[in-house]
C-alpha cells in the first residue's frame, strides 16, 4: 500500500478515516464527526498526553473532524490544512453558526460588554472566527457584539469573506511576536506558522510544515532576482522576503518574529543547518 503522511491522513492500527479504506490497514474505519474549536487556541499534539510536544495549533472557530475521543483527548483532523493530531476534548464543541467575522489584529480582547474599561473575558488571535450579532458605540469607539456574549473592538475584525491584499504586510504586523515551536497564532509562532497565518489572512490555505510548503510552491531562480513575497527554505526553516535583500521570519536566534538581511541569515544559519535548499514563489 502507498505510504501516506500521518500528519495529513488520519490512520492508526485500530482506527482510520473512512476515506482511507483500501489505502491503509486498520481494524476499524469511521467517518469523522464535525466539531469546532471553542477556545482561543488549541494545541495539536502527536500523542494524547499533557507532556507531548506541540505540533501545530487550531484557533477559535476552526472546523475539525473528530475520529475518536478517550480520556479527555480527541483525535482530530483540521478542515483548513488537513493536519492530524490530538487536542483536549474540552477545547471542542458542536459546530455552531459559521463565523461572520475574523480577527485581523495580531491579538485582541473580548470584553464583558461594549466598554474598553469592562473586564476582559479572553484574548483572541489573528485568524480567530467569531459570530457578530450587532454593533454598538461607546465614547466614540465602535464595538462588535458577539452572539456568544461580550464585545470586541470592531476595527479589529473584518467580515469572514474578506482578505488582505498582501500576505507579507500581514507578516509584518506580527513582528516581535514570540517564537513558539508549533505555534500558529498571534500569541506565538514558528517559522512555517508565520507563513501559514499570514497567507491565511490573505485568503490562501498554505500547508502547515516547512517541507509541505517547500513542495507546494513553484521554484524560483535567485540569480534572476528575488522579490517581496518569495520564500527562502533551509532544512526545517523558512523565511519571507520583504524585498530583494531582507527577510522576516520567526526564528530561534532572536526567539521572535524579526527582520534580517538575507545575506546575514544565510551566513548565520549555514554552520548549523547548511545553505538554503530552495527559493519558492507562492
What average pLDDT score do residues 119-148 get?
A: 96
Residue with cell 475539525: 64
72-87 pLDDT, tens digit each:
999 999 999 999 999 9
pLDDT of residue 97: 79
The rounded mean pLDDT for the chain is 97
- Tell me if 191 sits within 8 A of 237, measured CB to CB: yes
What average pLDDT score do residues 123-133 get?
A: 97
pLDDT above 60 (res 1): no
What average pLDDT score do residues 151-164 get?
A: 97
How many residues are there in the chain? 282
Domains defined for the chain, CATH in brackets: 16-93 (2.30.30.40), 101-159 (2.30.30), 167-281 (3.90.1720.10)
Q: What is the DSSP string of 191-222?
A: HHHHHHHHHHHTT----SSHHHHHHHSEE--G
pLDDT of residue 2: 63
List Cβ neighbours of 39 (8 Å cut-off, separation of 6 or more): 60, 91
- Tell me if 213 sits within 8 A of 206, measured CB to CB: yes
55-69 pLDDT, tens digit each:
999 999 999 999 999
pLDDT of residue 54: 98
pLDDT above 70 (res 161): yes
DSSP character at residue 187: T
Amino acid at each position: 500500500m502507498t505510504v501516506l503522511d500521518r500528519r495529513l491522513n488520519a490512520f492508526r492500527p485500530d482506527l482510520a478515516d473512512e476515506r482511507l479504506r483500501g489505502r491503509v490497514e486498520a481494524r476499524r474505519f469511521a467517518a469523522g464527526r464535525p466539531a469546532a474549536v471553542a477556545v482561543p487556541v488549541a494545541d495539536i499534539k502527536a500523542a494524547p498526553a499533557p507532556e507531548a510536544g506541540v505540533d501545530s495549533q487550531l484557533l477559535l472557530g476552526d472546523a475539525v473532524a473528530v475520529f475518536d475521543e478517550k480520556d479527555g483527548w480527541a483525535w482530530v483532523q483540521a478542515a483548513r490544512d488537513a493536519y492530524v493530531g490530538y487536542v483536549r476534548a474540552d477545547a471542542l464543541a458542536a459546530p455552531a453558526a459559521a463565523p461572520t467575522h475574523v480577527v485581523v489584529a495580531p491579538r485582541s480582547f473580548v470584553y464583558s460588554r461594549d466598554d474598553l474599561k469592562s473586564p476582559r473575558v479572553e484574548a483572541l488571535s489573528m485568524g480567530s472566527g467569531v459570530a457578530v450579532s450587532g454593533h454598538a458605540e461607546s465614547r466614540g469607539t465602535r464595538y462588535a457584539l458577539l452572539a456568544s456574549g461580550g464585545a470586541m473592538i470592531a476595527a479589529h475584525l473584518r467580515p469572514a469573506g474578506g482578505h488582505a491584499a498582501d500576505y507579507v504586510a500581514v507578516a509584518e504586523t506580527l513582528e516581535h511576536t514570540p517564537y513558539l515551536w508549533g505555534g500558529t497564532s498571534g500569541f506565538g509562532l514558528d517559522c512555517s506558522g508565520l507563513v501559514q497565518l499570514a497567507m491565511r489572512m490573505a485568503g490562501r490555505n498554505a500547508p502547515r510544515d516547512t517541507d509541505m510548503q517547500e513542495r507546494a510552491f513553484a521554484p524560483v531562480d535567485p540569480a534572476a532576482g528575488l522579490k517581496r513575497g518569495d520564500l527562502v527554505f533551509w532544512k526545517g526553516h523558512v523565511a519571507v522576503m520583504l524585498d530583494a535583500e531582507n527577510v522576516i521570519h520567526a526564528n530561534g536566534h532572536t526567539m521572535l518574529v524579526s527582520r534580517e538581511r538575507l545575506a546575514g541569515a544565510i551566513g548565520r544559519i549555514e554552520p548549523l543547518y547548511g545553505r538554503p535548499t530552495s527559493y519558492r514563489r507562492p
